[in-house]
Structure 1
Amino acid sequence: MLILIENTVCLNAGDAAIMLAIIRILRRTFGEQSEFVVFDSNPEVAARYYPDIKFRPLTTPLTAAPSMSLPLIGKRMARRIRRKIGGLKKREFLRLLNSAKNNNGSVGWSPLLTKQTRENIALYAKADLVVSTGGTYLVEHYDLSTRFEEFEKDLTLDKPLVLFTQSLGPFNKPENQRRVKSIVDQVRVALLRDEKSENNLRAIGVEHDRLKVISDSVFAFADMERLSKRQRSERSEKLRVAVSVRDWAHFDGLSPQEGMARYKSAVSQAISELVKTRNAEVTFLSTCQGIPEYHYDDSIVAQAIADGLDAETRKSVSVDSGFYGPDALLKKVTDFDFVISTRMHMAILSLCAGVPVLPISYEFKTTELYQGLSQSQWVTDISHIEPVSFTQRVLDFTEHLDEFYQAAAPRIREQSASAWSAGPLIQASLSSQPTHVTVGAKPIKQAS
C-alpha cells in the first residue's frame, strides 16, 4: 500500500513527531509492508535529520512562477509577465493531473513543468491513500493558499484524502469558508483534536458525520511502562526543571513586542523563584531548535531570558540548544521532575514520558488538550500571562507534582488509545465514497 503524507514541516521536531506517529499508527493498521512518502516544505534538510524517511517537496509550490528581475522593462511589466507565466504553469499542471487521472497514472511531458513536478504527480496517481499531516496549520493567521492547492490537487486526482488530527479555524474570511467547506465535504474522514475545531467546521456549514474528534497522534509515543507508576528523579537534591519557550507574534490586545516582553518577564521571574525558593536546576529545552535552516529557533528566546537573569540565578540555569528528534527528546525529558512548556508537542512528549507539565497556551489547542486531561486549572494563556500570578502558579505546581501525575496518567493512557484509534477509523473510511461537489458556501459571519 502506498501512503502519501503531505503538508509536513519536519524541521520542527513537534511536526516530525506527528509524522512519525502517523507512520506508526498506519503501519499497525495497514501492515509493515506499507510504503510511505512524505511531502515536506524542506525535504532536503529534513532527510538529513530523518534519513529513514523518503522525503519529497510539496507539489503545488513547484508550479509557481519564478521570481525575475527585468530592469529594462520595469517592475510593473515584470509582475505582469510573472503572473502570465504562473497562470500558464497552473493550467499545465491541471492538464497533467487530469492526464494522470484518465490515463492510468501516465503523466506525460510538459515544457513548463519540471521533472520533479511530473514525478510527484505520478506518485500521487499511484497512491492508495493521501494523508494531510496533523497540526495547526488551517488557521487564518497563516497563509492557507498552498494548503488549499495541495488538497485540491488530491481531489482532482480522485485520491482518498484524510485530514489527520487537526486543530483548525475559526474561519472568518468568506473565501476561506468556501474552500474549507468544499474540501472537508470531500475528505474520507477529518480527524480533529478537539470539539472546538468541530464546531468551527459546523459553523461554516459542514454537516456530514465524517468529523471525528480523537487525541493528537503524538500520544501514540506514550510509554505505558513509565505511565504505570510515578518515576521520580534519583537526583533528589535538586528540583530539575525543563522550560520550553518560543517566539510569538499573535497576542490578544498587545503588540508582538509588548506581548513578548511580558511573556519573557513572567518566565524569567518564575525561574528566579524556582532557583531561590525550590533549589531548582533549570534547563531550557524545546522542540524547535538546533536546525540552522529552520526559521524558528526557540533557544534564541531561551538565551535572551537566561542572559537577563541575575548572576547568582544564572549559575543554576542552562540553555540546551541542540537538536533532538522526537524519540531522543522523549528520552531526554525523563531527566526532569517537571516541564514548563509553551510548545504543545514538547508538552505531549513529556506527558508521554510520564513527566508532569505546566503549560503556557498560545493557541486554543493546548487549552483544549488540558481540558481533556481534566487539568485546565494549570493552563496559562500567553496573551494574559502576568509575572506575579504565573510565578505563583509555577510554585504551586511544584507542590502538586504527584497529584497532577496521579490524575493525569490514566487520562494520558486514554489519549494514547484514542490516538491509535485513528488507524481503524481511516481504514473504515476507505470503504465509503463521499460525494464530489463544488461547494459555494454562503459566507457566514463567525466570531474569532
Structure 2
Amino acid sequence: MKLLLVGNHTCGNRGDGAILRGLVQAIEHNTPGANIDIISRYPVSSSYLLGRDVKDDVLYRYHFKSKGGLIGKIRKALIHRTLPRVLAAKVKGQGILKYLPIPAEFQEHISKIAEYDAIIQVGGSFFVDLYGINQFEHALCALLAKKPIYMIGHSVGPFEQEVFNDIARMVFSQVEMLVLREAISYDLMKKGNIPVEKVIEGVDTAWLVDSNSPIDESNYSIRHWRETISQRPTVAITMRELAPFDKRLGVTQEQYEVAFADLINQLISNGYQVLGLSTCTGIDSYHKDDRMVAQQVANKVNNPEYFHVVMDEFNDVELGQVLSYCQLTIGTRLHSAIISMNFGTPAVAINYEHKSAGIMQQLKLPELSANVESLIDGSLAKNVISMLQNIDVLKGNVSAAIENEREKGIEITKELIKRIGG
C-alpha cells in the first residue's frame, strides 16, 4: 500500500507536527508494511522535527517562484487568485475556465500521484475561509488525477465567503471520507449549505501520538527545564499573534497581551511560576514565532524572575515531555493543550476560533475551554486558580476522556485502511 500524505503546513508548528506524527504512527501500527510519503511546505525543518524524510510541497512552492518585474508580479497575483478556480472548473468539466492551462508543476504533480493508492489530507484547521481558496489545491489535484482522497481529523469553516463555499461544496462532496475532529465544524457546514454526506465523526490525530515515543534523555534543554520546574509549582502557557482572527474577535493584540500578563501576575502571586512555551517558532524561516509574543508579555510581568520564556526548538514529543512536568497548561494554541493532555497534564484551551471549544466539547470537558473574553475580563484567572486547587481530580477526568478519543481514533484508522484496500 502506497500512500501520499498532503496538507502539512510545517512541523515548525508543533501542532501540525503532532497531527502528522499521530496519523503516521497509527497507520504504521495498523499496517506495518505501508509505504508512506509525506510532503510539507517546510520540508527541511519538518524532516528534522518529525525524525523522518519529508518532501517539498511543489504546489505551495510554485506560488513563490520569481516572476520578474511589475508585469510578472501582477501575473503572479492573478494566477494565485484564479488557479483554484481553474482547477475546480476542470474537475467539474464546466465553465470557460476549464479551457485555461494549468502550470507545468501542477500537471507534473497530478501525473505523479497516479502511482499512489490513495491521497490522505492530514488534519488540522486548514479549510478556513480566512485562509483562502488555495487551501483546496491538493484536493483538487487529487480529484483531477481521479485518485481517492481521504481527509482525516479536520476542523472546517466558518463558511462566510461565497467563492470559498462553492469550492468547499464541490470538494467535500467528492472526497471518500471527511473525518471531523469536533462537532462545531459539522454545524458550520450545515449552516453554510456544505454537503455533509461524506462526514464521519472523528478525532484529532494528535491524540494518537505515543506519549512514550523515544526522546534524547541527555538533551540539555529538557534537563534544564525539568530542574527549573522542580523548584516551584509550574503552569505552562502558550500565546500567539491573534491576527487574522483579531477582527473577528474584536480584541486587539495589546489587550490580549496585557490580559495574559495580568493572568501571569495572579498565578505568581498564588505561588506558581509560569513557563512560556511555544508550538510555533521561526525555525526554517517560518513566519510565526510565538516566542516573540511571550517576550512582549514578559516585559509586562511584575515579577519576571518567575516567568520563563522557553526559546529552545523542541519537537512535539519533547514539548510534551516538558509539559508533563507542569501542573496545568493554558493554551492559546489548541495543540499545546492537546499535547499537554496527551502527556498527562490537564490544559485549558483559549478559543480564538471554534476548533478549541469543539475539541473540549467532544472530550465532554467544556470547562477546559475558555473564550478570549474571559481572559480579558479576568474570570479565566479565577477559574484557573480553582482548577489548580483540585488538580488531581481534573487529571483523572482528563485521562479517562483522552483514552476514549484514542480508541475512537484507532478505529477510524482501521476503517481508513480498510476503505483504501489494506
TM-score range relative to shorter protein: 0.7 to 0.9
Change in Cα spacing, 1:203 to 1:427, as seen in structure 2 (3 Å) is farther
Query: Does the 8 Å contact 2:110/2:141 carry over to 1?
Result: no
Matched with 2:218 is: none
User: Which of 310, 318, 326 is matched with 1:328 structurally?
Assistant: 318
- Aligned residues with identical type, % of pairs: 20
Distance in 2 (CA, whole Å) between partners of 1:410 and 1:93 is 45
Matched, 1:340 2:300: no
Matched, 1:59 2:51: no
Amino acid at match of 2:246: F
Q: Report the Cα offset of residue 122 of structure 1.
A: 4.3
User: Which of 148, 157, 164 is matched with 1:169 structurally?
Assistant: 157
Matched with 1:124 is: 113
- Deviation per residue, 1:170-229 (Å, 9 max, x gap): 21222222211111111111000112212222344455643111111011126499xxxx
Query: Does the 8 Å contact 2:150/2:177 carry over to 1?
Result: yes
Query: Does the 8 Å contact 1:240/1:337 carry over to 2?
Result: yes
Of the structure 1 ranges 322-331 and 378-387, higher mean CA displacement relative to structure 2 is found in 378-387
Matched with 2:260 is: 267
Matched, 1:353 2:343: yes
Of the structure 1 ranges 263-272 and 152-161, higher mean CA displacement relative to structure 2 is found in 263-272
Matched with 1:240 is: 234
> Cα RMSD (Å) of the superposition?
3.3
Change in Cα spacing, 1:374 to 1:90, as seen in structure 2 (3 Å) is closer
User: Which of 124, 148, 151 is matched with 1:135 structurally?
Assistant: 124
Q: Report the Cα offset of residue 388 of structure 1.
A: 2.6
Matched, 1:426 2:421: no
Matched, 1:183 2:184: no
In the superposition, the TM-score normalised over structure 2's length comes to: 0.84
Q: Report the Cα offset of residue 318 of structure 1.
A: 0.9
Unaligned runs of 5+ in 2: 92-100, 214-225
Query: Does the 8 Å contact 2:15/2:279 carry over to 1?
Result: yes
Q: Report the Cα offset of residue 41 of structure 1.
A: 1.4
- Deviation per residue, 1:262-295 (Å, 9 max, x gap): 2222221121121122x21211112112515111
Q: Report the Cα offset of residue 254 of structure 1.
A: 5.9
Query: Does the 8 Å contact 2:255/2:376 carry over to 1?
Result: yes
Matched with 1:157 is: 145
Q: Report the Cα offset of residue 383 of structure 1.
A: 4.7
Change in Cα spacing, 1:204 to 1:61, as seen in structure 2 (3 Å) is farther
Matched, 1:398 2:399: no
- Deviation per residue, 1:23-66 (Å, 9 max, x gap): 1122223x222122222112234334345123122436527874
Amino acid at match of 2:342: C
Structure with the largest fraction of helix = 2
The secondary structure found in structure 1 opposite 2:119 is strand
Query: Does the 8 Å contact 1:65/1:89 carry over to 2?
Result: no
The secondary structure found in structure 1 opposite 2:285 is coil
Kindly tell me the number of residue pairs found equivalent between the two proteins: 396
- Deviation per residue, 1:334-366 (Å, 9 max, x gap): 121111111111111110111011221211111
In the superposition, the TM-score normalised over structure 1's length comes to: 0.79
- Deviation per residue, 1:400-438 (Å, 9 max, x gap): 21121122211111011112222122134336xxxxxxx
Change in Cα spacing, 1:87 to 1:409, as seen in structure 2 (3 Å) is closer
Amino acid at match of 2:4: L
Distance in 1 (CA, whole Å) between partners of 2:249 and 2:354 is 18
Amino acid at match of 2:190: R
Of the structure 1 ranges 243-252 and 16-25, higher mean CA displacement relative to structure 2 is found in 243-252
Matched with 1:44 is: 44
Matched with 2:379 is: 389
Distance in 2 (CA, whole Å) between partners of 1:429 and 1:357 is 35
Matched with 2:104 is: 113
Distance in 1 (CA, whole Å) between partners of 2:54 and 2:230 is 43
The secondary structure found in structure 2 opposite 1:355 is coil
Give the greater-gyration-radius structure (CA). 1
Query: Does the 8 Å contact 2:110/2:145 carry over to 1?
Result: no
